[in-house]
Amino acid sequence: MTLLHDSPTAVHERLMAEHSAHNYHPLPVVIADGQGVWVTDVEGRRYLDFLAGYSALNFGHRHPVLTAAAHRQLDRVTLTSRAFGNDQLGPFCTELAALLGKERVLPMNTGAEAVESGLKVARKWGYDVKGVPADRARIVVAAEAFHGRTISVVSFSTDPEARGGFGPFTPGFDVVPYGDAAALRAAITPETVAVLLEPVQGEAGVIVPPPGYLAAVREICTASNVLYVSDEVQAGLGRTGHVLATRAAGVDADVYLLGKALGAGIVPVSAVVADSDVLGVLKPGQHGSTFGGNPLACAVGRAVVALLAEGSLLEHTRAMGEVLHEGLRELLGHGTTAVRGVGLWAGVDVDPELGTGREVCERLAALGVLAKDTHGPTVRLSPPLVITEPELHTALTALRHALRS
């Protein structure tokens, strides 16, 4: 029942509390509108969006080029299923493959679907190409990783909250410490078909691997005839100032998993991208999706690819990243115990004397900046890539104040 004195925020929060599954603990902000790096809530308050949909909104809210592409396609056709072709699918796959320098694209919907699809492809490749005995394929993964919340992914998660109550779990995964090349090498067996890693661990707190680690992963995979599968769902498509964070380290993976920003926050779009000797193992009827590769998603994805291929946004991201990290370094010892990151992506560890990451995010929201905590003390910062230098300084000033409260 709505009470006369209830605020618009209270009304919406009550509806969510009563009728939405309680699988999230959002900040007490109800967003009604967004443009660029700014959002407005149902009370009319404006905020700088420093989460950007966990990198889904790399290009900001309602980017005019991307929304125009969606509007054009909405007026034509939005879904055909893969029982038929559509005039956006071929061009989307061709253009995305060219952007990444690979040969084939498997279009899906969400990032979690891209990861599940990548796991299936790796196993199929292991049996058909590498010759691993049936049902014996193993995949090496990293501790503290985040690849989604499906049963297979939580089967190898080291986060107790992600795993608790969801067993029995999918077998076939070996977990090693992130950043430890020696541990990875030791985990490889003749039955290993793939290594699945994030080039930067986002959910873990924006953990950047040590220098040379990704190159060592590439060397180990090549020497062991194992696929290197890079999950770039959060790290890719501009977040680090590069199309691919893996390539920024001078390394090429065999398989790339993309999502989030590929749909620009307009529609869910994801993809597995690899060469024909890998994705060619799939035959009709072995994998699919009714919505994967739909014309609306492909039209938006094509517009995203064109923006990234043009290059100026990546250059801008690298420049703004330097501003962000210079400002964050000044906070070391002044309310923070550690800062790290790359491009327009950072993890800030809060001094426990000032409270938790959640409490700092609540203070930030009161100051007009929206961010999200992770793993207790860490605040993640990932604004849309179109942010300007004055807007960055506004957010940094708010963070300084939030760390003094």
Q: Assess if CATH 1.10.3720.10 describes domain 312-402.
A: no
pLDDT given for residue 2 in this prediction: 52
Catalytic residue (one of 102, 124, 130, 260) = 260
Q: Where are the domains of the chain?
A: 64-310, 312-402
d(CA 24, CA 121): 31
Measuring CA to CA, which residue among 6, 48, 14, 19 is closest to residue 31? 48
Task: Specify whether 231 is catalytic.
Answer: yes
Provide the token pair at 67. Answer: 């929304």
Q: Which residues of the chain have pLDDT under 50?
A: 1
Q: What are phi and psi of 83, to 5 degrees?
A: -70, -20
Give the number of C-alpha atoms closer than 13 A to the C-alpha of residue 104, restricted to the C-beta side. 14
Task: Specify whether 260 is catalytic.
Answer: yes
- Other C-beta atoms closer than 10 Å to the C-beta of 66 total 22
pLDDT given for residue 257 in this prediction: 99
Catalytic residue (one of 50, 59, 92, 146) = 146
pLDDT given for residue 400 in this prediction: 97
d(CA 240, CA 211): 16
| The CA-based dihedral angle spanning residues 152, 268, 106, 36, taken in that order and rounded to the nearest 10 degrees | -120
pLDDT given for residue 69 in this prediction: 98
64-310: which CATH topology? Aspartate Aminotransferase; domain 2 (3.40.640)
Q: What are phi and psi of 24, to 5 degrees?
A: -135, 160
Is residue 37 helix, strand or coil? coil
Provide the token pair at 263. Answer: 């749909």
Alpha helix locations (H) across 129-252?
151-155, 160-163, 181-187, 213-224, 245-248
pLDDT given for residue 142 in this prediction: 98
Measuring CA to CA, which residue among 150, 125, 142 is closest to residue 230? 142
- Other C-beta atoms closer than 10 Å to the C-beta of 182 total 11
Contact criterion met (CB below 8 Å) for 360 and 403 = yes
pLDDT given for residue 379 in this prediction: 98
Considering only CA atoms, give the Rg of the chain: 21
d(CA 199, CA 201): 7
Total-model pTM: 0.97
pLDDT given for residue 405 in this prediction: 66
* Residue 14 exposed, middle or buried by CB count within 10 Å (0-12, 13-18, 19+): middle
Measured distance between the N- and C-terminal CA atoms of the chain, rounded to whole angstroms: 36
* Residue 328 exposed, middle or buried by CB count within 10 Å (0-12, 13-18, 19+): buried
Task: Specify whether 173 is catalytic.
Answer: no
Q: Which residues pair with 272 in a beta bridge?
A: 106, 257
Catalytic residue (one of 49, 231, 254, 373) = 231
